[in-house]
Structure 1
Amino acid sequence: MAIPKIAVVGPESTGKSTMSAFLAKHYNTVWVPEYARDYCAKLTEPCTWQDEINMFYGQLELEAEMLPQANELLICDTTFITVKIWSDYTFGRTPQEVLDELPKHTYDLYLLLNIDLPWEEDPLRDFPHMREHFMDIWVKELQALNANYILISGTGDERYADAVKAIDGFLKK
């Protein structure tokens, strides 16, 4: 039986990594970190087209590595949809391999984290003034995939409880 994959997605500074770690602990499983975060932290020049392609393959590889360690559920801190969103924004187009893989590499449930958390500064975050823009993009991308997604809002325990409720509801189906 296939392990269900839950993707925690959304714009910058919405708590994806914190939520992913929380959910993995709650469900006693592993979570796939965002490959691009470590990759970009090592860059000494602005991100290139090839970097976007490298991050796409890196995210897929990391997910494949973590899947056998999952305990009945795999939590993914973002997906390579991020590569599409950043490539479209930065370069005006998406690498073809990303476009080809998007409809084939789906997740069972996407938790779209809302932008209702305060912005937290981070050297790898760039667009505090464009949160609504990127939130709209995320919704459009998920709708284009006909993805099963739920918007998670609120702060603190309320946000975590809503995410658990969404996953529990999905698992009961």
Structure 2
Amino acid sequence: MNTIPKIAVVGPESTGKSTMSEYLAAYYNTIAVPEYSREYCANLVGECTFQDEINMFHGQLALEKKLLPQANKILICDTTFLTVKIWSEEVFGHAPQEVLDELPRHPYNFYLLLDIDLPWQDDPLRNFPTKREYFMNVWHRELQALNANYTVISGLGQDRYDSAVRAVGNFLGC
């Protein structure tokens, strides 16, 4: 049984999840599991399908499993497959059953929910610039439904990073 704590960095679009994950991995001298869907979607031809969401779910889990042995005391995860549930429900009206089945079996020890207080950054892979508050509420509901241990990270610049380091340090007891 793996005893390495998994820290998930989650939140709506354009909240700095990838940058925060890389920062925390460097700070804690460990590895960050990148968001599988970014590369997957960048290579898509046409619209994302329900099957693509299932593929991203499997890809995220496989990437996490592959990188876990490289972790040093903690594993930082740039988002989780919970994103597949949220996006599938928003775009297709329902989530893949295998995602729903896996959620309670694949917990993360601690979540950092990044706040929407950062300015929106355009990106061809981002879709909902006017629904950030809506998705922030969705993330709260989803994490609460999982009974997840999480902290909201707000602030700009170094203050945001310092808040995340404090939250992770408090979680780790250091």
User: Normalising to structure 1: TM-score of the pair?
Assistant: 0.99
**Structure 1 unaligned regions, length at least 5:** none
Equivalent residue number for residue 113 of structure 1: 114
Deviation at 1:167, TM superposition (A): 0.5
| Alpha-carbon distance in 2 for matches of 1:161, 1:49 | 38
Q: Which residue of 1 aligns with 2:168?
A: 167
Counterpart of 1:21?
Answer: 22
Give the superposition deviation at 1:140.
0.4
Match of 1:54 in 2: 55
CA distance in 1, matches of 2:172, 2:125: 34
SS in structure 2 opposite 1:151?
strand
Q: Does residue 1:130 correspond to 2:123, yes or no?
A: no
SS in 2 for 1:128: coil
Deviation at 1:82, TM superposition (A): 0.3
- For 1:15 and 1:161, the matched residues in 2 are separated by 14
For residues 106-163 of structure 1, the C-alpha deviation after alignment (integer angstroms, 9 at most, x for no partner) is 1000000000000000000011000001000000000000000000000011000000
**Which 4+ residue blocks in structure 1 deviate beyond 4 angstroms?**
none
Distance 2:38 2:111 in 1: 20
Q: Whole-Å Cα distance in 1 between the matches of residues 91 and 168 of structure 2? A: 33
Partner Cα separation in structure 2 for residue 49 and residue 159 of structure 1: 34
Deviation (angstroms), 1:67: 0.3
Alignment: residue pair count? 173
**Unmatched runs of 5 consecutive residues or more in structure 2:** none
Query: 1:132 & 1:172 partners in 2: Cα distance?
Result: 31
Percent identity reads 68
Quote the Cα distance in structure 2 between the aligned partners of 1:151 and 1:136. Answer: 12
Displacement after TM superposition at 1:70 (Å): 0.1
1:26-105 aligned within 5 A: 26-105=27-106
SS of the counterpart of 2:4? coil
Distance in 2, Cα, partners of 1:32 & 1:94: 23
C-alpha separation in 1, matches of 2:149 and 2:19:
22
1:97 partner amino acid: E
Aligned residue for 1:102, secondary structure, equals helix
TM-score when normalising by structure 2: 0.98
Give the aligned CA root-mean-square deviation in angstroms.
Answer: 0.8
